[in-house]
Amino acid sequence: MKTFVIVALMFIIISHAFAGEFSAEGNRFILNGAPFQILSGEIHYPRVPKEYWRNRLQSLKAMGLNTVTTYVFWNQHETSPGVYDFTGDQDVAQFIRMAQEEGLYVILRPGPYICAEWEFGGFPAWLLKDGLINLRSNDQKYLNYVSTWFSVLGKVISPLLIQNGGPIIAVQIENEYGGFGRDKKYLEAIHQILLKNGFAQSLMFTSDGIKDLSKGNLSGILSVANFGPGNADEAFEALRKARPEAPLMVGEYWAGWFDEWGGKHQSLDLAPQTKDYEWMLSQGASVNLYMFHGGTSFGWMNGANSDGRNYSPDVTSYDYDSALDESGRPTKKYFAFREIISRLTGKNPSAVPELTPVITLPEFRMRRSISVFDSLPKSVKSLHPLSMEQMDQAYGYILYRARLKRSSSGHLVIEGLHDYAQVYIDGKLVGTLDRRLDQKSLKLNIRNADARLEILVENSGRINYTKAILNERKGITGNVKLSGSMIQNWEQFSLPMNNISSLKFKDEGCEGACFYESHFNLNLLGDTFLDVSKLGKGMVWINGRPLGRIWKIGPQKKLYLPAPWLKVGENVVHVFDLEGRSTWTMKGLSNSNDRLR
């Protein structure tokens, strides 16, 4: 203990010896007494394996950037109330220290809300359990949770602020709040919570879309603008109007876009982006490229969008058509931006770092399997359907079961289906319902009295944007009716699928909603791309880690599999597929040129 205290004190002394200053003075940023133009790129630490953080940061610096920007992902760190995780891919402090070791500064966006096309905008799902918390508001219960979280985060992060010898030069207050509301008292409450928890000496800022700047800013606080190609003139005019005596800064220049299930892969024309980027830098503006490297929303962490009615879940890949592709490989955009930065700054960039080699995997068959109905946990009974959150479940699937007391023909109506359901009568699949398509009812013909109704529901990703986040409980969130009559007395089976290796697989085929297991052996490690084009809808795990979602509707038909998740020798693959077949195969591809499509 004594040794730990001595080391901690030495760290504090050394850090303060290298303490710096960063401020906004007039229309310039000042770093340690000299003008500083922020050339930033966004990387999200949970979307990149920790083993690759240094490579991605080196690639960022080699493009000519001097700063990395990242959100803090609350739901990754506080997985249940009062239970915190800052280890492995969640070690945000190590990511920031690594950036400093590579000669980079850091802009921190701690939330509590982050958007980011991330599950529930970064909020922990447990906030929804009691149904009484009003998110992003002055609701004291909500603010108490935020305050507790920031008190923990502040202890982790405050030693890394520039005034304490770290690389963090600026901290964001909330995130794009102007696109959600206009309650300045709420914004000030978040500001005060940050001030009280270690961020008091930081340069702080608010970040909003062009038309939302006035709704999302705070008096005396720097405003930055978020926008995409073709809007630089309008954005700069809005910033000058909102803050005439402040530096011009672009909080997010959308150099790409994200993909949604059932849509097309997004790929933006490069020419308008390079034109914008060169013009903005030549104006002396500070710019953050969103994203510099998108990475992957591994596991269940993809978000979803909504316009208030339509629901659109995002794919696993967060490639984002960014300068570095999903697997970290430089693109044409990377080298185009690199040339602009070098020419305007007069600095020769460092060499682009080498990458992990890409390997192929021979085709292998999924030989062992078990039906989801043969691997159910104990049920929880209730009069009306319970949501996942009421079952203390955040992600995965949930099965609802009820008995229909009489034969009946009519429409089964599910009120508040979130998000995708398979409907079974006496073990037979009779139809599916998809929230994306606004499907809520299914025509049934029940011939047997005491028929068994089962509804298997997938959480396809919580909405991460707009006021729709306020009602994002998962599973069945309302009542279920048949021919107008309410069905009661339910059993719920929670299926978070967080211990897939414990299932009792059998050496036999399985059709329908099934788990599958297979193995492959490796002599040499490398990145690869799992071809999932033959699968239906579900999830893939590698060596126990949830890799990502699969869905035959595309556009994503490959899953990026990073080398650090593989092992020399035997590797185990698990798949859950709602549309499983007795015999199908999978293989790993080496081609990443089509950006994983």
Tell me the residue type at 431: G
Select which of 78, 102, 174, 176 is catalytic: 176
* Residue found under tokens 């991460």: 464
Distance of CA 430 to the CA centre of its chain: 33
Structure tokens at 418: 């979130």
| d(C-alpha 576, C-alpha 513), whole Å | 7
Q: In terms of C-beta distances under 8 Å and separation of at least 24 residues, what long-range contacts does 183-187 make, across chains too?
A: 183/137, 183/138, 184/218, 185/138, 186/136, 186/137, 186/138, 187/216, 187/218
102 assigned to active site:
no
Q: Which residues of 238-261 are buried (b: 16+ CB within 10 A; e: fewer)?
A: bbeeebeebbbbbbbbbbbbbbbb
Beta strand ranges found along 324-440 (DSSP E): 361-365, 368-371, 380-382, 397-404, 408-414, 417-418, 420-425, 428-434
Q: What is the DSSP string of 549-565?
A: EEETT-S--EEEE-GGG
CB 66 within 8 A of CB 104: yes
| d(C-alpha 95, C-alpha 76), whole Å | 15
CB 390 within 8 A of CB 418: no
Q: How many CA atoms lie within 13 A of 12 on its CB side?
A: 8
| d(C-alpha 115, C-alpha 209), whole Å | 13
Secondary structure element (H or E) that encloses residue 99, with its range? helix 92-101
Residues ≥6 apart with Cβ < 8 Å to 335: none
| d(C-alpha 173, C-alpha 217), whole Å | 9
CB 257 within 8 A of CB 272: no
Select which of 252, 260, 454, 517 is catalytic: 252
Q: In terms of C-beta distances under 8 Å and separation of at least 24 residues, what long-range contacts does 547-551 make, across chains too?
A: 547/298, 547/299, 547/316, 548/296, 548/297, 548/298, 548/299, 548/316, 548/317, 549/300, 549/302, 549/315, 549/316, 549/460, 550/575, 550/577, 551/261, 551/315
Q: How many CA atoms lie within 13 A of 193 on its CB side?
A: 26
Residue 473: phi and psi, rounded to 5, are -70, 155
- Coil vs helix vs strand at 465: coil
Distance of CA 282 to the CA centre of its chain: 33
The CA-based angle 354-359-363, given to 5 degrees, is 165
245 assigned to active site:
no
| d(C-alpha 478, C-alpha 498), whole Å | 26
3-state secondary structure 156-170: HHHHHEHHHCCCEEE
Q: How many CA atoms lie within 13 A of 407 on its CB side?
A: 4
CB 557 within 8 A of CB 532: yes
Nearest to 396 by CA among 498, 517, 259, 253: 498
Active site residues: 176, 252
